[in-house]
Chain A
Amino acid sequence: MPSSDLQTTADIRAAMSDGATAVDICTAYLERIATQDGPIHAFTHVAGERALQDAAEIDADGRGRDPVLPLAGVPIAIKDNICTQGMPTTASSRILAGFVPPYDATVVERLRAAGAVIVGKTNCDEFAMGSTTEHSACEPTHNPWDLTRVPGGSSGGSAAAVAARLAPIALGSDTGGSIRQPAAFCGIVGLKPTYGRVSRYGLLAFASSLDQIGPFALTVSDAAVLLTVIAGHDAADATSSAEAVPAFGARLAEPVAHPTIGVPWHLLEHGVDAGVRAAFDAALDVLRSQGATIVDILLPHSVYAVPTYYVVAPAEASSNLSRYDGVRFGYRAPANGDRSDLGEMYNRTRSGGFGDEVKRRIMLGTYALSAGYYDAYYVKAQQVRTLIRRDYDAAFERVDAVAMPTTPTAAFALGERSEDPLQMYAGDVFTASANLTGLPALSVPGGHDASGLPVGLQLVGRAFDEANLLRLGASYERDAAWWRDRPPVHTTV
């Protein structure tokens, strides 16, 4: 198999059974990154030497041929807000410039044990706050389908890397849609697992009641394999669940018999682009043709998902980001002569280290938590959150999954929304409720809009029922294999 045909983990493992080594595979991907990532800028750090060393170890100990280790020798890209021992981890923030974690996040530790080879760290919105990857202290990432457009965010680098075939799989984090929205914008699969399914130990915390780490892949099967490796209880994360972890990839070929799929049509009445709507209707036709029954459901409180999210997430962020103070790691503002004292150092470090969007959210969260406003904003939002979850619980009494477009529009132009926070926040309308409720949600490629840009089909499932969610996604993908469409190859001149 010529190395340019390597796309999925199955392709890689097949090449390895035909005699390719993990070093060959790693070399092929590093070459693609070197020649094709320039115009995209998915990576903030390429771990060339370290990756080749890790691959050589896998070749030496024979793990690449072990059938119970499906990711052995498979390259993976990691979002830069997930700690990697000995490799820079900055969350694309100036305040973490030069930070090299002394430990691996639990997900990274599990990936290494499974033999996956980390080829690099990917760009994101600073501390995962944004929907475009433009709020990065590094250069923004460009959408491989159209370099003038955003890849989505905050995990835009991971999504762009997988879409451009610079890595077969990647990890992202999803607090309000940060895996699913870029997956949709880049035409790939992205999954936000159930809250508690995957350990967050070593994930730079943004909003602790919402954050989940999850997989990016070209196919549902690859996402399932990656989830199986990273999922499961971790003593280092008290919020991780002891729920048993099935082999998510094992039963994907068995379709869910006559599923009932609910569509909250009332949420789609306004603001959904005509091309996105047409692709969504066509996707529902595919599901119907496979025996699914589509029913209209009401999620009355989900119309408040975006304002609820933008109270809860910044409030938690303002608390989580108080740890960045220039004392133990990262950036410290230079001393201001004799006038320097500790408080002044904190203030100048944080003011110089954080970018505009992060400051905006810290300010918003501090305000929502401050005396006098705590009840009116934070408690109120937490109560609405309960009502959003109750709507979903009621819906799941009669449906097996909820379907929505992942986003109201396809990828927009770079710069188009960066000056208008409210317009940017409004794009989270279909994704934020899965984080507020903790439910698992999968975005699969769901066709193209009128201008040929990818759009996503989102399926939301019951808590800890990723198995059925992935089976539904796999079943759709069998008759609508949009992932086979590839973005143009952009080479560095």
Chain B
Amino acid sequence: MSAITVFVPKDSAARSVGADRVAIAIAHEATKYGIDLTLVRNGSRGALWLEPLVEVATDRGRTAYGPVRVEDVPSLFSADFHLGGKHPLSLGLTDEITWLARQDRVTFARVGIVDPLSLADYEAHGGLAGLRRALSMAREEIISEVIDSGLRGRGGAGFPAGIKWRTVLQTTGDHKYICCNADEGDSGTFADRMLIEGDPFTLLEGMTIAAIAVGAVEGVIYVRSEYPDAIETLRQAIDIAREQGWLGKSVLGSLHVFDIRIRVGAGSYVCGEETAMLESIEGKRGVVRSKPPLPAICGLFGQPTVINNVLTLASVPAILAGGAVAYQARGVGRSTGTQVFQLAGNIARGGIVETRFGVTLDTLINDFGAGALTRRPVRAVQIGGPLGAYFSTSLFDLSMDYESLLAAGGMLGHGGVVVFDESVDMAVQAKFAMEFCALESCGKCTPCRLGSTRGAETIEKIINGLDLEGNKKLLLDLCEVMTDGSLCAMGGLTPLPVRSAMLHFAEDFGSRTGAAR
């Protein structure tokens, strides 16, 4: 290995703004000047507004440059960036970039730092410590540790992970499964993708710990087809884990048998709902199942099944390695640990912000996000994906945790925060929520299948100014039927963005004659 190491992210967001071309240009210039350097394609640090973010390892730590375009590369070499030289794009030491330094990275601790497919790098940064400890513990002890940590499902529902695991442990089954839900379909969320692309072994380790805890023999990761890079990274990571004797007939030399395979989605949003996901893994139409029975008792192919989101499972190794107490000490109330927020949409400084629960919306959007990308005033924020509520700036002091958001009529969901500037028309957004539900409904229950289409039609009438009061009353009534009568969150939560838009942005649902909007 050469003395000089340069990092250029391989994360697909970084690639989407030219990271591959920058990497090629750096390699090319280095050859031209006869500079021997090792190019590492790391994950992204999560400061997506700085991508492509190029880093160089120096004696003082890694120093960063960004956003780097291909045409900047020759001047970077002229400035001896490979030795840490100053350049107009210099950002100083990566660890001292305020945006990153203010975060509390636990689940994302290694993302952007390690070479995603180097198991040696993974172990050098604390990887496998959680699994090794789990192998020395009794099953019930592992589950107690997860329960004590307070870890709740990061996919959206917020159900305590350890309780779910205990149910699977206590249910008899000859072929229990660990299913990882990587069908991250919510607009405004990308943390699952970034974790998989940047630190895939953490997810595999979390799944293996879960398997040991509940006695599962097989794991399935359901990844959406829109994430081709994540799928490829996972395939390679699984192959490496098998070769290294971590997955397979004997987990790290123990008596535990566990292997993981990947199933790729096919463009259906509702397959992110856990029972629709099971149907899809079984190769069928992604139609939601009725509950009960819970998947923990009768899940994939009728077997007891743990279903957790990527971030939930990826938080487990850190909990086992560092202990429940350290994790639990973060956060507020029943929202313990950290949350990986994703700043998205019309935002100047978007990306991954992992921090303790209890941070305010204002801190996220104005301090981290630096307001709207368009430099116009922020008007609305949607939290928790297409089924999450819209909030106005008057609620910016809201504490970001499960309970506070619920009390404010919203939900945390998967932690996505989508920002809109003043040009947004909230009636159009409400109509979109219904249209999206109509498009993606699995069709099993009537409130969702028909209600969504009728809802979109009714909002269209409101936009056109037809019988405003009558149609608004009708829409609220329809929202109530969908909330109470739908089988799953698709139809049940679609009213959340609609109602919150009507509540916080009533002016957009009024008479439009003469008004600008």
A binds B: no
Spell out B's residues near A (CB within 8 Å): none
